[in-house]
C-alpha cells in the first residue's frame, strides 16, 4: 500500500511537469495601421500581427514596450510618432490608465483616435482589462485630454452591409 501511494504521488508530480511543458497559448497580437490603408466595404485601416517569439504570459509593461517598438510586418506602420513612450501606467479595478509622453502630442484630430484605438485593441486582445484611458496634452493648445475605450465601446468589426 505504501508503494502504491508513493507511485501515485510521483505520477501526480509528473503530470504537473507535463502541464508546464505544454505549448504556449496563441502568441500575442498587436494592432497597427496598414501602411497603405484600403477604404470601402472590404478595406480596413487597422491590421494585426502576431509575435510568435513573444511570451504569451508577459507582463503588461513588457507588452506595451514591445508594442511601441513598432510592427515587424512591413505592410503595417505604427500610429505613434517616433519617440512615443508611456510615462505612467496604473490599474484602477479593471481599467488601465496610460499617460503618454511629449512625442504623442504631435498627433492631431483623427490620428489621435486611430493611435488610441490600435493600442486599446492590443491591450484588450492580450489581457482581461475591461477599459483603457489614455491621457495626453493636445498639440498646439496644451489642453490636457484623454481618450477612453471599453471593450463594449470599441467596435472591432464594421458589420454594416451596403444597400443592394
Q: How many CB atoms neighbour CB 117 within 10 A?
A: 21
The SS3 call for residue 16 is helix
Per-residue pLDDT of the chain (164 residues; tens, 9 = 90+): 544 343 333 333 333 333 333 334 678 899 999 998 877 655 688 999 998 765 555 688 888 999 999 999 999 999 999 999 998 888 988 999 999 988 888 888 889 989 999 999 999 998 899 999 999 876 667 778 889 999 988 754 444 444 44
The C-alpha atoms of residue 127 and residue 30 are separated, in whole angstroms, by: 12
Residue whose C-alpha cell is 494585426: 48
Q: What is the DSSP letter of 73?
A: S
Is the pTM of the predicted complex or chain greater than 0.85? no
Amino acid at each position: 500500500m505504501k508503494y502504491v501511494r508513493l507511485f501515485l504521488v510521483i505520477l501526480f508530480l509528473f503530470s504537473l511537469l507535463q502541464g508546464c511543458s505544454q505549448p504556449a497559448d496563441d502568441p500575442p497580437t498587436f494592432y497597427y495601421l496598414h501602411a497603405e490603408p484600403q477604404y470601402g466595404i472590404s478595406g480596413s485601416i487597422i491590421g494585426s500581427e502576431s509575435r510568435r517569439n513573444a511570451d504569451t504570459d508577459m507582463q503588461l509593461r513588457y507588452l506595451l514596450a514591445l508594442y511601441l517598438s513598432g510592427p515587424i510586418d512591413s505592410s503595417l506602420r505604427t500610429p505613434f510618432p517616433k519617440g512615443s513612450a508611456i510615462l505612467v501606467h496604473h490599474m484602477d479595478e479593471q481599467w488601465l490608465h496610460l499617460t503618454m509622453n511629449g512625442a504623442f502630442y504631435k498627433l492631431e484630430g483623427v490620428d489621435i483616435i486611430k493611435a488610441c484605438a490600435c493600442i486599446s485593441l492590443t491591450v484588450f486582445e492580450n489581457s482581461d482589462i475591461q477599459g483603457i484611458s489614455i491621457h495626453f496634452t493636445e498639440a498646439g493648445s496644451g489642453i490636457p485630454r484623454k481618450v477612453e475605450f471599453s471593450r463594449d465601446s470599441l467596435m472591432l468589426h464594421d458589420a454594416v452591409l451596403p444597400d443592394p
